[in-house]
Amino acid sequence: MTAAIRQRVRPRTAVDRFLTFLRFALTALVVFGLFAFLVQQFVGPDNPLTRFLNEDANRLDWDAFRGLLVSGLSQGSMYGLIALGYSMVYGVLGFINFAHGEVFMVGAMTGLITSNKLFEAGVWDDAFPVAILIAVLVSTICATLTAVLMERIAYRPLRGAPRLIPLITSIGVSFFIQNTSALLLGPGAKRYPLLPQWLRDDRGPTWLRIGGQKILVIVVAAAAMAALWYLVERTKTGKAMRAVAEDKEIASLMGIDVDRTIVTTFAIGGAMAGIAGILWGILFGSVTEFTGFLPGIKAFSAAVVGGIGNLGGAMAGGLTLGGSESLAPQLILEPLGVTGHTQLKDAVAFLVLIYVLLVRPTGLFGERLSAEDRA
Amino acid sequence: MSDTAMSAPADLAPARAPLDQDWRKVVNYGLVLGLALVFISLTGMPDGLNSRVIVEPWLSMGYLSLMWLPFAIGFAVTHEQVLEGMVQHKRGARELFAGAVVGLIGGLCLSLLVYLLDTRDLSDPLVNWNQPLLDFLTRDGSVGEGVLLWVGVSTALGLFGGLMRIVPALGSRLVRAVILTVVGAAAMEALIDDLSEGVWKLEGVVEWLYHPREGLEPAGAIALAIAAAFVVLWLGRQLKKGGAVYNLAREAQPLAVNAVSVVAVAAAAILLPIFLGRLTNDLLVNVGLFVLLALGLNIVVGLAGILDLGYVAFYAVGGYSVAILTSPTSPGISPTLPFWLAIFIVVGMATLAGLFIGAPVIRMRGDYLAIVTLGFGEIIRLTVRSDWASGLTGGAQGMLSIPGPDLNIGGWTLPLVGWTMPKLEVDLMGTNPQHILYVVMFFVAIAIYVSWRLENSRIGRAWMAVREDESVAEAMGINTVTAKLQAFVVGAILASFAGAVFAAKVGSIFESSFKILVSIVILVIVIVGGMGRIAGVVAGAFVLVGILGGPNQPGLMAEFSEYKLLIYGALLVWMMLKRPEGLIPNVRRSRELHQEEFLQDAWLRGEVDRDEAGSEATTDEGWAPA
Amino acid sequence: MKLSRKLMMLLAVLLSFSLIAAACGDDEETVTDNTDDTDTDTDTDTDTDTDTDTDTDTDTDTDTDTDTDTDTDTGSLGDGSLGTITVAPGEEVQIRSLNAITGEVAFLGIPNQVGIELAVSHYGDIHGFAVTSGAGLDDLCSAEGGVAAAQQIVADEQVAGVIGTSCSGAAAAAAPLISDAGLAMISGSNTSPSLTSDLQGNANENYRAGYYRTAHNDLFQGAAMADFVYNDLGLTTAAAIHDGDPYTQGLAQAFMDAFTALGGENAGFTSVAKGDTDMVPVLTEIAGASPQALFFPIFPPEGNFIAAQAGGVSGLEDTQLLAADGLLVDNFMEDPASEGIYMSGPDVRFGTNVNESTGQTAADVLAEYETVQGEPPSAAFWGHSYDAAAMLLDAIAAASQVDADGNLVIDRAGIREFLNGISGYSGLIGTINCDAFGDCGSQKITIVDHTDSGDIEAGKANVVFEYAPA
């Protein structure tokens, strides 16, 4: 209600006008880029408009488009899995756990160590399903432990502190974990053992052949998402989590152990990040100490794009972000004649975030604000 | 927060028996100590820092990196939060005992590591699980010697930490002064060497103090320790007296005293670089750049409460603008302007960038804003690097041959009158750090003046109001949007100055100098120094960049370059948990973050029991409700 | 907020200290330590800043003739125009190693540093004076790091020369300072053309007189790869991918320029970002023009991702992949995805090449390297750094003499004179000839065909193409 009043009272300032301009400019850019792409696609690259914008333009064939889409979606589903952790913590505690990306990295790292040990023992080649199950278990447990410890040591003492304080703390935690990994395990890229051939084979009908790893990633992400949905919406723990997110004090009056619920939230977020970590290892086969940083930030962006605090939104946001950073350079920037357009892939991801926040500040799927936020 | 912070009642209860401990707490602290020791050993820090000698054959930075821990934790375990109405006991054997036990547990953990290092091979995931670490921990002796060494040393240091609680304040001040002096003198060897060069007789003294090219001589260390003790005992009192005189004078004639102070500071600033060597000047330039950046971010984060994680964007704008405008070889536009003319355009560019980035984010909530500004920082860096923009910015190849700022301000002719400003005879151009230092100091002076004036102005108060509570600020008639944008733009301009000097100093520019890391390091400086406090921010930059080094700049302790980010991360967390107001706190800010009174209230309400209050001073109830 | 009392007091103390220093201090910082006894002109400290770029190579400076006369008595090089260094009896001759020894690029810098240290220990004394390379300095692989280390070097007037840097970006910032101070620096692994010349006889704008390198010029490697692709493989369209690093961008550009000059078609030029994992978008961008060859002179892990993902992108199924020395490392070559990729790099078949200054063979040095470090070198440039250090020490020996008091007097100009005249020098890396712009490398590029990820050494030895100066 107060927001409505404020809206009416506040006069349109230069800032508002600038923002309106920015919204239109970005929308126009997207629309024009897409238009140019369609022209290039259906009229053919040899028309005056396309030639004017980009001399080297080529038609994008279906195979290439499908490749981009699938790789964007598989990357996006990992963003989504990480974003769940951001979203849940934000919902319950109302702050961004900047270090959540590092939990994901810990998952990928411990998964790597386990699978390399299993590879040396021969289990990886002989009984791959067993090996991968062990690796998933270990990495999930380690990631969960990291998240819980993080909460206990760094965030619990700060509960109730001004909002920016835990955020700054989490930046410190993030750097600490990143450099711990570099110093303990050595810097640089480390490789996962090679996956068995049957997993790497392309599958699907001829018009839609997709790499086996990508299918696996998308399927596992969907399964994890479904399990989480069941947990949050259908179990008592989930109910407690939702209650704590709504109002901590009332929840505790209702007999809910707030501390324990918060720990559970961190643990579940950590487990999701751990699963995402091992999927990352399977998909790309390599991990460094920086693996968690940029994906972490992008996953947070995904949570915001989808509407923070909303679990379905987090997944949708992840897919949106992954898809657009994969497709947008080719679909929008290339027809506009930007040279070396994929260099701006990461910039596109951040522009999507800015654009969504400009046009729909609550994210694509609205948001469930907790009491503190509404105040 | 020291344990004497609360008013101590005059009568103390008698000391408790040594065995009357809170055993859970003691064991917990001991295990934390043990974990920390093992962790630090496995990061490779002791071995990596071992080359840095403090006292020639006795002590190296490597050993110090482990040895400070039992002492600090032994000190911490004996800490007791005493609140109004609690029984306060005399300190005594109980404290010593607790410290020793903690040290013992820590030492045992480290000994376990020594034993495992000898018997197991875990070098596959742990890269520092190797022979050099074992040799380091056992001092090239047998495993048994190593175990004995660490159990003994750790217990003794823990005991020593506990002792610090018992001795009178003067004693602990003495110990602190001696330790800081010896370690500081060893750390600053290069600097002191540089300073003393050519100064009458000092050179000889310095040569006597230091072992050639590494560490102090034992005799030198002892002499320094005695000198430090003397300073605390005698000079400390004199200084206090002097301070009192100064304060009195300032109260009587504030204007005159302030003027004298400003003149004195200015004179010192002008004279200092002449006596410093190249190395020290270069170090000070680096520190100065980060002072400038931190002062700028301090306005944005410390005063206006906007957490800008993309602050490096403005640094880049300044750097690239100067590079494009002054370098004769910049691709695309290359007007080859003199530095001082380019600065004016840089200010314009920074203002535009501040407005452009500021406007979209200003209405966002604090945490969204942090991520979006971070995104903007990356967008700018990625764009500058891309082949698409390389026609203007040089892309991956960067820009080279950026001339240094020309300090020959003379040489131009006044139109109409026909008078020509005489040109200075000395050659004051190029990359001589001494000259750059003057340029940096000029901008730092501007930044300090601007920060100081703004802080006490209407705008400054508006910023602080926005920081405290935006809705209330708005209700008080403050235009929050304008206020925040102003903060953004002022911060942007200060950062662009730093970028401009940086480009001129290094003489070339690449996008790799403008990574997210730089934003984070500036943030750490502001937080560690004390948000919203000019002196704090300056001190933070000196300590962090000067000693440990900046994101790409080595500090005095170049050995730390591999570990500094880990230390920065840990420092950030520790500061936020234990001392959110920073090293040199801002009064208003620390009042906001002050915890004891809330703890006191909580205790009176019976929500915190006695032991909890002692061991976890900042948990749960430690914070004021937001 | 007023400045705090503490701060004021601190500043007051500083001020008083500086006043004391002013009273006792001696204003003039002399650039050369002992100019008076060699009777050089006294205005050296103003000259060094300005004259180095133009005057260093000319020996006909009139006012220094007297020096040359005294010097020629014992036959050492140099005209004293850049000042001299005096090493007292019992002291060591100081040179410096400046390499990226920490962080992500340590794999490149550490072998360089070890190479330098080995060369110094093998070389022995110069005119009876021991030599030290000090504690290795770190260029942090960045312009800032290069400048900071250069200031440190320049501040120490006893330093006679520098071996480094590891990274071209650091060299671009350090070379002006070091060169203007009258010193010589020789890098074992800088390859950027901007530091020397375009190989057609034109100096680049950032070339400095005191800069030398034993590593090859990127233009050379680019030309080698282009020649191989166009003439040997017979492919006519090629694309290139770099990672935004000055080195990789420069090499990719050099390749593309040489390839189009031969008549090939540029089918795309773009980059990945460090930290990227999903290469499908960038490969799709390249695939649009269906290039026959794809050159990606980048590093792991991005290189691994490109190699692994290229096959799955439509339009690139039959494209020949090509990489450069950044990927001639175990991490990449162990990866099964790297099979079938041609990789270019400096000729590292040092075999039994002998360094003429130390008399050591490459095989011996390598064996000693492995005993010292406990592992084989992680990058190819240890030999280049070894030769660079040996050359510098030769130059110091040639430009120095022992004076009447038993001091060793080193003439800085003489060091450059010696290096400029190097021709037919036998080093671990082959025969070294310095051109007029500091390019001294053996300039021999080889391309290997890596076919078996299980046998890396075989891959490195499987040379299919050699490119040497005409």
**Packing angle of the helix pair B254-275, B236-252 (nearest 10 deg):** 130
- Separation of alpha carbons C244 and B396, rounded Å: 5
Mean local confidence (pLDDT), A151-159: 90
CA dihedral C144, C149, C152, C153 (to 10 degrees): -130
* pLDDT of B357: 93
Whether residue B307 and residue A162 make contact (CB cut-off 8 A), yes or no, is no
Domain that holds residue A256: 62-323
* pLDDT of C58: 39
The identity of residue C156, as a single letter, is D
| SS3 assignment for B181-230 | HHHHHHHCHHHHHHHHCCCCCHHHHHHHHECCCCCECHHHHHHHHHHHHH
A57 lies in some domain: no
Contact list, A340 vs chain C (CB under 8 Å):
269-271, 285
Could you tell me which of B549, B569, B572 has the C-alpha nearest to residue B559?
B549
* pLDDT of C22: 42
Q: Degrees (nearest 5) of the Cα angle C166, C170, C176? A: 120
Are residues C236 and C259 in contact, defined by beta-carbon separation less than 8 angstroms? no
Share of chain B above pLDDT 70, in %: 86
Which residues of chain C register pLDDT less than 50?
Answer: 1-3, 18-73
Smallest CA–CA distance from C91 into chain B, residue = B212
- Separation of alpha carbons A306 and A362, rounded Å: 8
Are residues C389 and C120 in contact, defined by beta-carbon separation less than 8 angstroms? yes
474-493 in B: which are within 8 Å (CB) of A? 474, 481, 485
If you write DSSP's letter for every residue of B547-566 in order, what string do you get?
IIB-SSSB-S-GGGGGTHHH
- Separation of alpha carbons B72 and B68, rounded Å: 6
* pLDDT of A223: 93
What CATH number is given to the structural domain containing A279? 1.10.3470
- Separation of alpha carbons B129 and B43, rounded Å: 9
- Separation of alpha carbons C286 and C294, rounded Å: 9
Question: Per-residue pLDDT tens for A245-279?
Answer: 888 889 989 889 999 999 999 999 999 999 999 99
* pLDDT of B602: 57
Are residues A325 and A74 in contact, defined by beta-carbon separation less than 8 angstroms? no
Whether residue C270 and residue A343 make contact (CB cut-off 8 A), yes or no, is yes
Smallest CA–CA distance from B622 into chain A, residue = A157
Determine how β-strand C408-411 pairs with β-strand C400-402: antiparallel
Could you tell me which of C174, C116, C179 has the C-alpha nearest to residue C141?
C174
Shortest Cα distance from A208 to chain B (angstroms)? 33
Q: Which DSSP letter does residue C196 get?
A: S
Q: Which DSSP letter does residue C425 get?
A: E
Provide Rg for chain B, Cα atoms.
27
β-bridge partners, C85: C410
Q: Which DSSP letter does residue C231 get?
A: I
Whether residue A326 and residue C281 make contact (CB cut-off 8 A), yes or no, is yes
Smallest CA–CA distance from A74 into chain C, residue = C278
CATH class of C219-346+446-467: alpha beta
Those chains having 3 or more beta-carbon pairs within 8 angstroms of chain C are: A, B
Are residues B186 and B49 in contact, defined by beta-carbon separation less than 8 angstroms? no
Provide Rg for chain C, Cα atoms.
25
- Separation of alpha carbons B549 and B556, rounded Å: 7
State the ipTM, two decimals.
0.90
The dihedral sign for the CA sequence B429, B434, B436, B441: negative
Look-up of token digits 């103003």: C46
Question: Per-residue pLDDT tens for B11-45?
Answer: 677 777 878 788 899 999 999 999 999 999 999 89
Surface-to-core class of residue B312, CB atoms within 10 Å of its CB (0-12 exposed, 13-18 middle, 19+ buried): buried
Widest Cα–Cα separation across chain C: 78
Task: Give Cα A178 distance to the centre of its chain.
Answer: 18
Contact list, C18 vs chain B (CB under 8 Å):
268, 271-272, 275
Q: Which residues have CB under 8 Å from B157's CB, separation 6+?
A: B67, B70, B71, B74, B103
Smallest CA–CA distance from A305 into chain B, residue = B368
Optimal mutation site among A192, A279, A332, A343, interface C, most CBs of chain C within 10 A: A343
Could you tell me which of B561, B571, B566, B565 has the C-alpha nearest to residue B540?
B571
Q: Which residues have CB under 8 Å from C400's CB, separation 6+?
A: C76, C126, C127, C408, C409, C410, C411, C414
Contact list, A168 vs chain B (CB under 8 Å):
307, 523, 527, 572, 576
Task: Give Cα A60 distance to the centre of its chain.
Answer: 27
- Separation of alpha carbons A322 and A276, rounded Å: 14
Shortest Cα distance from A62 to chain B (angstroms)? 27
- Separation of alpha carbons B529 and B311, rounded Å: 18
* pLDDT of C470: 57
If you write DSSP's letter for every residue of B228-286 in order, what string do you get?
HHHIIIIIHHHHHHHHHHHHHHHHH-HHHHHHHHHHHHHHHHHHHHHHS-HHHHHHHHH
Mean local confidence (pLDDT), B304-315: 93
Optimal mutation site among A301, A350, A358, interface B, most CBs of chain B within 10 A: A350
* pLDDT of C77: 83
- Identify the weakest region by mean pLDDT among B295-299, B491-495, B599-603: B599-603
Could you tell me which of B167, B178, B215, B174 has the C-alpha nearest to residue B193?
B215
- Separation of alpha carbons B299 and B459, rounded Å: 11
* pLDDT of B569: 93
Let me know how many helices (H) and strands (E) chain C has, helices first.
Answer: 16, 18
Mean local confidence (pLDDT), B166-178: 84
β-bridge partners, C266: C238
Whether residue A168 and residue B527 make contact (CB cut-off 8 A), yes or no, is yes
The dihedral sign for the CA sequence B302, B308, B314, B316: positive
Topology of domain C86-215+351-439, CATH? Rossmann fold (3.40.50)
585-614 in B: which are within 8 Å (CB) of A? 592-593
Surface-to-core class of residue B610, CB atoms within 10 Å of its CB (0-12 exposed, 13-18 middle, 19+ buried): middle
* pLDDT of B205: 81
- Separation of alpha carbons B305 and B299, rounded Å: 8
* Per-domain boundaries in chain B: 1-166, 280-524, 595-626
The dihedral sign for the CA sequence C269, C270, C271, C277: negative
278-337 in A: which are within 8 Å (CB) of B? 297, 300-301, 304
Phi, psi (rounded to 5 degrees) for C401: -150, 160
Smallest CA–CA distance from A329 into chain C, residue = C281
pLDDT of B282 > 50? The answer is: yes
Shortest Cα distance from C370 to chain A (angstroms)? 20
Whether residue C9 and residue B562 make contact (CB cut-off 8 A), yes or no, is no
- Separation of alpha carbons C437 and C198, rounded Å: 9
Q: Which strand (E) or helix (H) includes residue A83?
A: helix A62-93
Look-up of token digits 């950027």: C192
Are residues C197 and C439 in contact, defined by beta-carbon separation less than 8 angstroms? yes
Are residues B504 and B435 in contact, defined by beta-carbon separation less than 8 angstroms? no
Whether residue A286 and residue C278 make contact (CB cut-off 8 A), yes or no, is no
Question: Per-residue pLDDT tens for B92-139?
Answer: 788 889 999 999 999 999 999 999 999 988 888 898 898 889 999 998
Tokens of A346: 């990461």
Which residue stretches of B78-196 are H helix?
A: 93-119, 131-138, 143-166, 169-187, 189-196
Shortest Cα distance from B606 to chain C (angstroms)? 39
Surface-to-core class of residue B428, CB atoms within 10 Å of its CB (0-12 exposed, 13-18 middle, 19+ buried): middle
Could you tell me which of B2, B18, B158, B156 has the C-alpha nearest to residue B74?
B158
Phi, psi (rounded to 5 degrees) for B507: 85, -5
| Residue range(s) of every CATH 3.40.50.2300 domain in chain C | 86-215+351-439, 219-346+446-467
Question: Per-residue pLDDT tens for B343-400?
Answer: 999 999 999 999 999 999 888 877 888 889 999 999 999 999 888 888 899 888 888 8
A232 lies in some domain: yes
pLDDT band at residue B621 using 50, 70 and 90 as cut-offs = very low
Task: Give Cα B160 distance to the centre of its chain.
Answer: 27
Tokens of C130: 């021991």
- Measured between its terminal Cα atoms, the distance across chain C in Å is 71
* pLDDT of B411: 58
Share of chain B above pLDDT 90, in %: 33
Q: Is the omega angle on the peptide bond into residue C165 within 30 degrees of 0, that is, cis?
A: yes
Query: How many domains is chain A partitioned into structurally?
Result: 1
Question: Per-residue pLDDT tens for A17-60?
Answer: 888 999 999 999 999 999 988 888 888 777 888 878 877 777 78
Share of chain A above pLDDT 90, in %: 45
* pLDDT of B292: 96
Pick from B271, B286, B506: CB nearest C18: B271
114-143 in B: which are within 8 Å (CB) of A? 124-128
pTM of the entire predicted model: 0.87
pLDDT of B580 > 70? The answer is: yes
Q: Is A187 on the interface with C (CB under 8 A)?
A: yes
Q: Is B389 on the interface with A (CB under 8 A)?
A: no
Residue, of B58 and A180, whose pLDDT is higher = A180
Pick from A72, A189, A343: CB nearest C273: A343
Determine how β-strand A202-203 pairs with β-strand C93-99: unpaired
Are residues B503 and B320 in contact, defined by beta-carbon separation less than 8 angstroms? yes
Q: Which strand (E) or helix (H) includes residue A238?
A: helix A236-246
Could you tell me which of C349, C434, C353, C351 has the C-alpha nearest to residue C388?
C434
**Packing angle of the helix pair B202-209, B189-196 (nearest 10 deg):** 160
Phi, psi (rounded to 5 degrees) for B485: -65, -40
Phi, psi (rounded to 5 degrees) for C270: -150, -175
